[in-house]
């Protein structure tokens, strides 16, 4: 194999396609138009690697003749031992009858009897099949095998994808020329160097080898090269266009066309997987297929078969050119002949028809509803980073990270003195050395003074760890800075387990439910584990932060403190994250792949980075084998726009739509935690356009008119997290945010309170706002207090539906055309008995447990102690529910407007009270030490190896 890929060259000086031909099996199982001299069609079923990959190829008799002729020419240049002769039975049937019937009858052992056409077809297929098998044996170790691989539509990338388990669908393969059409959001492949470069221009306009896969079209330079040249994703806007040609319309007006009667193959021939059964063959007179010219042949499943109403439009369309268009780009593809073009169009149409990505989704989201999902909320940074660190540790293939800010020196487990190996950069470096491919996208700030995240430092540090780590920053700021940001936070490990929500992998986010203010002990760094004192620091260096005092600075020196810990308390950080296993993780991968590839097409990179492919959906068998099952319904939503994801004519704001719809359909209450609350108002003549505030007002008015109890509980920060006093000259942005929030909530006639009072409604009866504050004692004995910063972006509705993500309730996050965001809508089908409005009411376990957990924390209850006490019963009850509902598909998705559809043809488918500060501090340190001990003795073998690994 190494010799094939490095030294062997075919007649075109191309590398040998690295395929082991002895692992290739084939059968010719059916045929049509066997009486035609050129257009007899044969169905070739192929299998590689004992079922690793199965696919079907359709070839005409002319293709066989051309293949053999090329090998005869090659044999004259370089002798090919044992090159088989072309079977005489492959000659046209009628010539055989007229000229050499008797002779060939004797050769076939048929005596002098005349054979039926059906027997002739069978013998013809057998002889051609034997010819291909002999040809494989003759060229399997020679570079001339390239021609046979192309004939059988097999390439290095298709085998690589099959080996990686990247989906079972294998569509058409072959050469097409690729051109970008006007008005596209981005170009083709990677952005080239500035100026005109002849070699780059030549290579760009050479035909590429295309593969049609389960939800995308991918191309490479040559079939021997697995390096991806570009990817075209299927989405809800995907269409295939066939341009009309005026000369063809004129020619057809001058010709008389008569209908040709043929007997088509049965529908099972359209299957993309090989089968052993054969189907009835077409019969007729010589020349029956001539009308089709290898395209639009109803007897050939590899070509298109348009509806009668579209026959004329297809007949007048181009014979070589067609367009594929999605929400990002419109690309012109040119085939060498009409039959090849028609086969590609048919394959793409079949793929898109069966793809879940080509239909319309609930809330107009890019992603579909997923059922039987395993989902787990994670409140505050300690639990989120603990689960994330364990998932990264177990990574075997890939890690995708997308963050607004990433701190390489972040400790995922505490205290830092006992968990040096769990520092983010150390963990990623270890996995990269093990062969895990790591891809990172971080927000590129306008300036470090404006947003002090120092993304260039992050990029430099990560790239210096290992060559398997790839980093892109976005957006690029040219002459006109882009003031919107990539605000989403997500991490996907091995395309199977995903983390998302409000937590960036950066300083200041790790916290416990106790939200301790004071951390003034020794660092303990460099001490042996047994020497680490009990009062060791939990937040070291830059991690000890207070955004109301000063923002971050000198991040390149992460170990240095920013404040005097004896005088300045830290600002506690409250946040909510989400862990998803299974199909939603694949959806987040697809989003990441779309972002990554868009950046590759639009940014100049000195380092060559690969295009990524979206993973295929898990099959039911894969989910069962991996034991991935749960009781939740989940859907990924996002805010995405032309600037952020490269869709020139589309803005997605499915997060806002989900918030509004959930509020409108609520029965009893909504509970919201968010960093901001700006919506549906008028501020200094500027209209705030997102409609979440309108939805709340409308729902309250309806509850008032119906005389039913309904309430909105909203928790937001007491003040924006900016380092300036409200009356200082530098606090203009802080005062503007507060003005917008006040105008949304209670100030003026356009506020929620003002609109309710206009309707004669007392707002206090229906909606309440809260902030959180904690307190502690400095080393000198003085009491201190600080607002707990609410950074969560979450809504719980009726304890049935929960929305968790990165989107704030403001214009930047909700409109879609500004900041890019991610959120997940979750509804648990595991129902519990509860009481609301004085009546029995069933609630979902996921949403109910999340809301109760948040309220317990905010009321000062020791949630760790309570959860530990409840854990035994809860685990047993949940396990019994999971086992009984593991494969349940009877629960219909929550789709009130019946928006969920599939395929190109849209086939419809179903204020904070805290206890004793010292006690909270002691609890936090106790939990941190317990975590360190668990890390040392964790039963998971991989974690044990990591904890006790090389020093």
Catalytic site positions: 487, 489, 494, 791, 793, 798
Measured CA to CA, the distance from residue 735 to residue 721 in angstroms comes to 12
DSSP class of residue 437 equals E
Q: What is the DSSP string of 275-320?
A: -S---PPP---TTGGGGTTTSS-TT-TTS----GGGHHHHHTB-SS
Beta-bridged to residue 828, according to DSSP, are 632
* Strand-strand pairing, 437-443 and 398-403: parallel
Q: Which residues contact residue 809 at a Cβ distance below 8 angstroms, ignoring those fewer than 6 apart?
A: 659, 672, 674, 676, 677, 678, 679, 690, 692, 793
- Angle at Cα 895 formed by Cα 238 and Cα 838, nearest 5°? 160
Phi then psi dihedrals of residue 578, to 5 deg: -145, 135
Enumerate the β-bridge partners of residue 671. 713, 796
Is the C-alpha dihedral spanning 897, 900, 901, 907 positive or negative? negative
Residue 209 contacts residue 175 (beta carbons within 8 Å): yes
Three-state DSSP class for residue 806: coil
Q: How far apart are the first and last CA of the chain?
A: 38
DSSP 882: H
Angle at 47 between CA 45 and CA 48, to 5 degrees: 150
State the CB neighbour count (10 A cutoff) for residue 739: 14
Enclosing H/E stretch for 579 = strand 576-581
> What backbone phi and psi angles, to 5 degrees, belong to 233?
-90, 145
Asked if 91 and 101 count as a contact pair (C-beta separation under 8 A), the reply is: no
Given the structure tokens 């999340």, which residue do they identify?
850
Four-residue CA torsion sign, 321, 325, 330, 331: negative
Q: Residue 724 CA to chain centroid, in angstroms?
A: 40
Residue 899: name the closest of 849, 825, 812 by CA.
825
**Cβ-contact 29, 121 below 8 angstroms:** no
Question: Look-up: residue for tokens 């009491």?
Answer: 783
User: Which is nearest to 122 in space by CA: 34, 55, 58?
Assistant: 34
229's tokens: 């040249």
Instruction: Determine the 3-state secondary structure of 787 from DSSP.
Output: strand
Query: Rounded to 5 degrees, what angle do the CA atoms 910, 824, 408 make?
Result: 145
Listed residue (446, 439, 428) closest to 472, CA to CA? 439
Angle at 631 between CA 627 and CA 633, to 5 degrees: 115
Closest to 138 (Cα-Cα) out of 203, 57, 81, 100: 81
Whether the bond into 344 is cis, omega within 30 of 0 = no
Token pair of 794, please?
A: 């979450």
- Residue showing tokens 């004085």: 838
| Structural tokens at position 949 | 């690994």
- Name the residue with tokens 């089968």: 275
Q: What is the DSSP letter of 892?
A: P
From residue 891, give the alpha-carbon distance in Å to each of 371, 469, 581, 636, 846. 8, 42, 19, 19, 16
Q: Cis ω on the peptide bond leading into residue 415 (within 30° of 0)?
A: yes
Q: How far is Cα 421 from Cα 423, in angstroms, rounded to an integer?
A: 5
DSSP state of 220: E
């Amino acid at each position: 194999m190494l010799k094939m890929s490095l030294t062997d060259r075919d007649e075109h000086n191309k590398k040998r396609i690295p395929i082991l031909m002895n692992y290739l099996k084939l059968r010719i199982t059916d045929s049509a138009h066997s009486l035609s001299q050129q257009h007899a069609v044969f169905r070739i079923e192929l299998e590689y690697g004992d079922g690793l990959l199965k696919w079907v190829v359709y070839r005409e008799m002319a293709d066989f003749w051309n293949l053999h002729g090329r090998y005869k020419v090659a044999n004259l240049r370089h002798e090919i031992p044992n090159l088989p002769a072309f079977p005489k039975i492959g000659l046209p049937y009628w010539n055989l009858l007229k000229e050499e019937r008797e002779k060939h009858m004797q050769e076939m052992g048929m005596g002098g009897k005349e054979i039926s056409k059906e027997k002739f077809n069978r013998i013809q297929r057998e002889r051609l099949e034997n010819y291909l098998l002999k040809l494989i044996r003759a060229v399997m170790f020679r570079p001339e095998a390239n021609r046979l691989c192309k004939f059988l539509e097999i390439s290095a990338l298709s085998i690589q994808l099959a080996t990686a388990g990247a989906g079972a669908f294998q569509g058409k393969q072959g050469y097409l020329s690729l051109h970008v059409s006007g008005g596209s959001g981005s170009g083709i492949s990677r952005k080239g160097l500035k100026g005109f470069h002849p070699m780059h221009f030549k290579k760009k306009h050479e035909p590429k080898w295309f593969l049609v896969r389960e939800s995308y079209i991918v191309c490479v330079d040559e079939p021997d090269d697995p390096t991806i040249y570009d990817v075209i994703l299927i989405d809800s806007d995907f269409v295939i266009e066939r341009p009309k040609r005026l000369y063809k319309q004129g020619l057809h007006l001058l010709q008389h066309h008569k209908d040709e009667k043929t007997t088509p193959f049965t529908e099972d021939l359209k299957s993309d997987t090989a089968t052993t059964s054969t189907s009835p063959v077409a019969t007729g007179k010589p020349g029956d297929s001539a009308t089709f010219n290898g395209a639009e042949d109803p007897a050939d499943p590899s070509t298109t078969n348009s509806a009668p109403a579209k026959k004329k439009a297809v007949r007048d369309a181009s014979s070589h050119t067609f367009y594929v268009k999605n929400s990002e780009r419109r690309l012109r593809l040119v085939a060498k002949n009409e039959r090849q073009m028609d086969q590609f169009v048919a394959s793409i149409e079949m793929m898109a028809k069966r793809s879940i990505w080509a239909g319309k989704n609930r809330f107009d989201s890019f992603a579909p509803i997923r059922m039987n999902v395993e989902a787990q909320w994670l409140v505050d940074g300690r639990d989120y980073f603990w689960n994330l660190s364990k998932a990264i540790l177990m990574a075997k293939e890939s890690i995708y990270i997308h963050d607004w800010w990433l701190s390489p020196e972040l400790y995922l487990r505490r205290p830092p003195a006992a968990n040096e190996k769990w520092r983010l950069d150390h963990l990623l470096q270890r996995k990269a050395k093990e062969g895990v491919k790591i891809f990172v996208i971080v927000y590129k700030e306008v300036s470090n003074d404006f947003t002090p995240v120092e993304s260039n430092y992050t990029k430099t540090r990560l790239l210096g760890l290992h060559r398997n780590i790839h980093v892109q920053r976005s957006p690029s700021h040219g002459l006109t800075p882009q003031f919107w940001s990539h605000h989403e936070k997500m991490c996907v490990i091995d395309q199977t387990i995903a983390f998302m929500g409000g937590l960036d992998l950066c300083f200041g986010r790790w916290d416990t439910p106790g939200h301790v203010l004071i951390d003034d002990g020794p660092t303990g760094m460099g001490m042996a584990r047994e020497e680490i004192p009990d009062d060791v620091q939990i937040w070291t260096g830059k991690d000890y932060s207070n955004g109301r005092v000063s923002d971050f600075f000198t991040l390149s020196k992460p170990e240095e403190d920013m404040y005097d810990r004896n005088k300045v308390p830290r600002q506690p950080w409250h946040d909510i994250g989400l862990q998803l296993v299974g199909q939603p993780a694949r959806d987040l991968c697809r989003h990441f792949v779309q972002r990554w590839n868009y950046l590759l097409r639009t940014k100049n990179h000195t380092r060559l980075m690969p295009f990524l492919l979206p993973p295929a959906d898990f099959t039911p068998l894969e989910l069962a084998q991996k034991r991935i099952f749960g009781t939740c319904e989940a859907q990924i939503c996002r805010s995405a726009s032309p600037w952020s994801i490269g869709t020139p004519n589309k803005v997605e704001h499915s997060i806002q739509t989900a918030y509004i719809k959930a509020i409108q359909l609520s029965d009893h209450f909504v509970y919201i935690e968010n960093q901001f609350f700006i919506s549906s108002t008028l501020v200094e003549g500027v209209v705030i356009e997102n409609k979440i505030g309108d939805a709340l007002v409308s729902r309250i008015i309806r509850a008032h008119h119906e005389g039913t109890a309904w309430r909105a509980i909203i928790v937001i920060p007491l003040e924006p997290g900016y380092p300036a006093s409200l009356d200082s000259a530098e606090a203009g942005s802080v005062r503007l945010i507060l003005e917008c929030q006040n105008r949304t909530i209670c100030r003026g006639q356009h506020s929620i309170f003002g609109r309710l009072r206009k309707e004669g409604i007392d707002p206090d009866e229906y909606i309440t706002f809260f902030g959180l504050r904690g307190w502690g004692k400095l080393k000198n004995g003085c009491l201190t207090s600080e607002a707990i910063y609410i950074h969560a972006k979450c809504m719980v509705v009726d304890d049935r539906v929960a929305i968790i993500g990165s989107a704030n309730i403001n214009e930047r996050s909700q409109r879609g055309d500004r900041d890019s965001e991610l959120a997940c809508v979750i509804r648990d089908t595991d129902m519990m008995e509860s009481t609301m409005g004085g009546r029995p009411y069933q609630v979902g376990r996921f949403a109910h447990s999340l809301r109760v957990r948040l309220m317990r924390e905010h009321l000062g209850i020791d949630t760790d102690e309570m959860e530990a006490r409840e854990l035994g019963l809860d685990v047993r009850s949940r396990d019994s529910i999971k086992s009984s509902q593991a494969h349940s598909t009877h629960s219909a998705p929550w789709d009130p407007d019946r928006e969920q559809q599939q395929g190109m043809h849209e086939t419809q488918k179903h204020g904070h009270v805290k206890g004793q500060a010292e006690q909270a501090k002691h609890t936090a340190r106790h939990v941190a030490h317990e975590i360190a001990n668990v890390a040392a003795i964790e039963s998971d073998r991989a974690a044990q190896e990591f904890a006790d690994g090389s020093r």
